[in-house]
A and B are shown apart, each in its own frame.
Chain A
């Protein structure tokens, strides 16, 4: 079992719709959780972090954390073509471990 698992996609979403991305992790001792966005040919950039159970909202992005289920999700509301990218879930225990990423395609 991988430490951090994501569906590779692609997740195809119509413009204006909600994109829902999921991530599961194996280490129950994980402390904090991050979502990075990576455009093709570019480096990852942080868009959200969360460390408490529940929801955290930042603009069009909402991160959700359920430590009991070892589950993190990211919602992108009012998806735009510029949101088309790969989204990497990262989990911090002793070091930051990344999932394989979910590719999101937002179609006009």
Chain B
């Protein structure tokens, strides 16, 4: 398997523009997670899905953020409108089952987002 695939790797946009980040999880993984990483706040969970259904979106910072998972092989994280404070690395991760003692997260390569 190719692993978790994220696109784009880098995104530079201007404040106010819409940004869409994409993720393809590992085939057969039932859980998909979106994380954001910054120097100040570290790695934060934004939202996660189980079998394409959003389970916990309490980490989504504002209504400007939305995430969808229309099918088992694709998810998007959208920011509209984007702001400079959204600049971060956004990671998508998948897992075959609920995180427990021996299940691990498989991370994608991340999307480096810069909002000017």
Contact = CB atoms under 8 A, between A and B. Distances in A.
Interface of A: 31-32, 34, 42-46, 49, 51, 88, 92, 94-101
Interface of B: 33, 42-45, 48, 56, 91, 99-102, 104-105, 107-110
Contact of A88 (B43, B56, B109): B43
Closest 10 CB pairs of A and B: A43-B107, A100-B42, A98-B43, A46-B104, A51-B101, A32-B101, A96-B99, A92-B99, A44-B107, A43-B110
Contacts of B109: 42-43
Given A32-B100, A92-B100, A96-B99, A46 B105 contact: yes
B42 A101 contact: yes
Contacts, number: 44
Contacts of B91: 43-44
A65 to B, nearest CB: 12
A95 B18 CA distance: 29
A43 B101 CA distance: 21
A31 B99 CA distance: 10
Contacts of A51: 101
A8 to B, nearest CB: 9
Contact of B108 (A43, A92, A95, A98): A43
A96 B42 contact: no
Contact of A31 (B42, B100, B108): B100
Given A32-B100, A43-B109, A97-B45, 13 more contacts: A34-B104, A44-B43, A44-B107, A46-B104, A49-B101, A49-B102, A88-B43, A92-B99, A92-B100, A95-B56, A96-B105, A98-B43, A101-B42
Contacts of B101: 31-32, 49, 51
